Amino acid sequence: MFLRIDHVGIACHDLEEKIAFYESTFGLTVVSREVNEEQGVREAMLHVADGPSGASYVQLLEPLHPDTPVGRFLAKRGEGVHHIGYGVADVTEALRRLSAQGIRLIDERPRHGSMGAAIAFLHPKDVGGVLTELVQAPER
Ligand code: MC0
């Protein structure tokens, strides 16, 4: 089902400060910046590597407000890994299969994600405590 690790989502208090850290420490480059009101985040994608099934990224996430998924995560746990996004060929089909296996879906239908992707989240309680995101990259 998984084609690649699309991105690792990292929650932070200060997006610009964290971008500067990843650029200067690891030599990564920002390829996209977006505000996603629906998800309550300001985010940046930093390119890590290209593979046969697409690229992988570090995604830095700053909450738009405290009362958002990333805002609540920061308040409870502090900065750190927030979720893992896996590339899939067809997010709707993946949701159907996972739901049939009893995995709780946060999103019954795909939503708008970073860089034009269709995304959907699975509940961390059904994935060993890991907030898991399915990512279908746009047709190029
Ligand atoms: C919360 N929990 C987590 C977690 N966030 N566990 C693992 N990883 C996380 N990131 C746990 C809490 O510790 C708690 O467990 C339980 O889930 C309920 O949490 P809560 O404090 O009630 O927090 P809520 O209300 O935020 O609900 C958690 C939930 C929510 C995962 C359902 O955050 C959600 O819907 N997330 C999906 C959307 C999202 O995260 N969007 C931001 C990234 P205990 O044991 O204490 O009960 S958007 C994004 O990334 C887009 C832009 C993209 O990739 O393109």
Q: Which of 89, 3, 10, 91 is nearest to 51 (CA)?
A: 3
* 129 touches ligand 1 (CB under 6 Å): yes
Q: Tell me the average pLDDT across 74-99.
A: 98
Among protein residues, the one with the nearest Cα to ligand 1's atom 4 is 131
Q: How far is the CA of 52 from the centre of ligand 1 (A)?
A: 30
Ligand 1 near 43 CB (within 6 A) = yes
Distance CA 27, CA 49 (A): 12
What average pLDDT does the segment 104-116 reach?
Answer: 98
62, 82, 83, 136: the catalytic one is 83
What is the per-residue pLDDT across 31-54, written as a single tens digit (0 to 9) for each? 999 999 999 999 999 999 999 999
**Is-catalytic flag, 43?**
yes
* Rounded average pLDDT over 10-17: 98
- pTM for this entry: 0.98
